[in-house]
Amino acid sequence: MTTTEEILWATAEFYGSNLSEVVLGIWTENLAAYDPERVKKAFSAHMRDSDNGRFMPKLAHIMKHLEGIPTDNAAMAWSKALEAASHYGAYRDVVFDDAAIHAAIQDMGGWAKFCRCENDQLSYQQHRFQQSYGAYKAQDGFTYPPKLLGDRMADDLYAKRGLPMPAPSFIGNKDEAKKVLRLGGDAPKSQEQGAIAASVALFYKKEIKEEK
């Protein structure tokens, strides 16, 4: 399989550009988290771009192809969450393959409340979700609940009654969802997270007031 470093050397040769060891190191460090096949597709997409594709790509160009446009990603995350709410309902624990979905839904009152959103409030909820989601994705790190709890008995009651804990439903890429579950925690929000939640909630209330 072609490595990311080989892709970079080939791209530099294609564009007739010099690639120093220092610049190569910057590229490989920033692309290390991505599968080389995905990186290859991103470079190919850049080459096909009628405007930017005429020149050796900058890191921002490749990241755009790897991650997509932030607003598009937020819309896709909303669609995934809404579909899961319809499929699993408010009584099931769920784990998404994207921690920012957990953080955004928790800011909106939790999974059960999210699932019970009325149809006439969907547009407001979507705007609120996408703003919050985008803000979390822009953070270097944030805390989030390891799973989104359904409307069920508290955990300690299962133990007291000798019942097994309900297994959560994994949504999206199962391996990534398990990673989200493993790395999540219920630590207090950071100052930045508190600001995100407060600003999005304030905007949401303002939108409803203006609509009325």
pLDDT at 13 over 60: yes
Q: What is the pLDDT of residues 65-101, one digit of tens each?
A: 887 667 788 899 999 999 999 999 999 999 999 999 9
Reduced to 3 states (helix: H, G, I; strand: E, B; else coil), residue 171 is strand
Percent of the chain with pLDDT over 70: 85
pTM score of the predicted model: 0.63
Check: CB of residue 100 under 8 Å from CB of residue 182: no
Which string of b and e fits 163-178 if b means at least 16 CB within 10 Å? eeeeebbbbbeeeebe
Q: Among 27-31, 131-135, 168-172, 203-207, name the most confident range.
A: 168-172
Q: What is the pLDDT of residues 148-204, one digit of tens each?
A: 999 999 888 988 999 998 999 999 999 999 999 999 986 555 555 555 555 555 544
Reduced to 3 states (helix: H, G, I; strand: E, B; else coil), residue 30 is helix
